[in-house]
Amino acid sequence: MDNPINLRPEEGESTPRAVAVLATDPAGDAFIPPHTHRRGQLIHAISGVMLVSAAAGSWVVPTGRGVWVPGGMEHQIRMAGEVRMRTVFVEPGMRADLGGECRVIQVSELLRALIVAAVSLPLDYAPGGRDERVMELLLDEMEAAPALSLHVPMPRHARLAALCEELVRDPSLPATLDDWAGRLHMNTRTLARLFQRETGINFGAWCRQARLLLSLPRLAAGASILEVALAHGYESPSAFTAMFRRTLGVPPSVYLRRTP
């Protein structure tokens, strides 16, 4: 069951400074209904997984990723379990390179540390001092963060989205086109076409990409390849490693050494 969170539109926006960082630690499976902000924002979970939807699309956003949402764009956020969310609000025109379109970015260890540190700063921090320099460096790191092509688009079709959310919450669940078609009372071809139209990729590619992306935070936290493989629906570590290599070009151990 959803735990709705009602955000005031002015949160993070009526502050006297150009940048503000707010912390939200909602209850499990919370839902932030559609809303807009005057300021642009980077939506980031320092732990947990979010499902962020806007006019430009919908994305699964695990730990280590963030979504930039320009000011004035309506969006909603659904938490997949327990999430610790941090939001960076940025005054329009502050940094042109942040752009006017949604994009998923890699959140480096430095950017994450700056976001965490900025939460404790006063909203009316003194200009010209250390606090302002923290915020300026935070913006530098946001601009420099690479946009990610590896993301998981979410369908807007309500019943199909519900099945996708089940897999996001528990990537070890079995998922086949035939099974999902039966649960949605569709034939397999109809579901395949619907899935392609809603997400831009086919069902099998979506499942593989979702499981792979959701595995990255656990790998980064030090879990073994065996643990991660079984927790994300793979029959063996070798099957997981082979899929990882095909998708990202390197095995998990090499990828983690390259990850900021």
CB 90, CB 100: distance < 8 Å: no
pLDDT at residue 260 in the model: 44
Task: Give me 164's structure tokens.
Answer: 């996708």
**pLDDT digits (tens), the chain, 260 positions:** 455 565 544 556 666 789 999 998 888 788 899 999 999 999 998 888 888 888 777 787 877 889 999 999 999 998 877 888 999 999 998 888 888 888 888 899 999 999 999 999 998 999 999 999 999 999 999 999 988 776 788 898 999 999 998 998 888 899 999 999 999 999 999 999 999 999 999 999 999 888 888 887 778 777 889 999 999 988 899 999 998 888 777 788 776 654 54
CA distances from 222 to 16, 147, 228, 245, 257 (A): 41, 25, 10, 19, 12
pLDDT at residue 6 in the model: 55
Entry pTM: 0.71
The structural domains of the chain, ordered by start, are 3-144 (2.60.120.280), 155-258 (1.10.10.60)
- Which among 37, 38, 63, 39 is positioned nearest to 50, based on CA atoms? 63
- Cα angle for residues 146, 103, 161 (degrees, 5° grid): 130
pLDDT at residue 153 in the model: 84
pLDDT at residue 1 in the model: 44
Where are the alpha helices (H) located in the chain, listed in sequence order? 109-119, 130-144, 158-169, 177-183, 188-199, 203-220, 225-231, 237-248, 252-258
Task: Give me 1's structure tokens.
Answer: 């069951």
Other residues' Cβ atoms within 10 Å of the Cβ of residue 42: 23
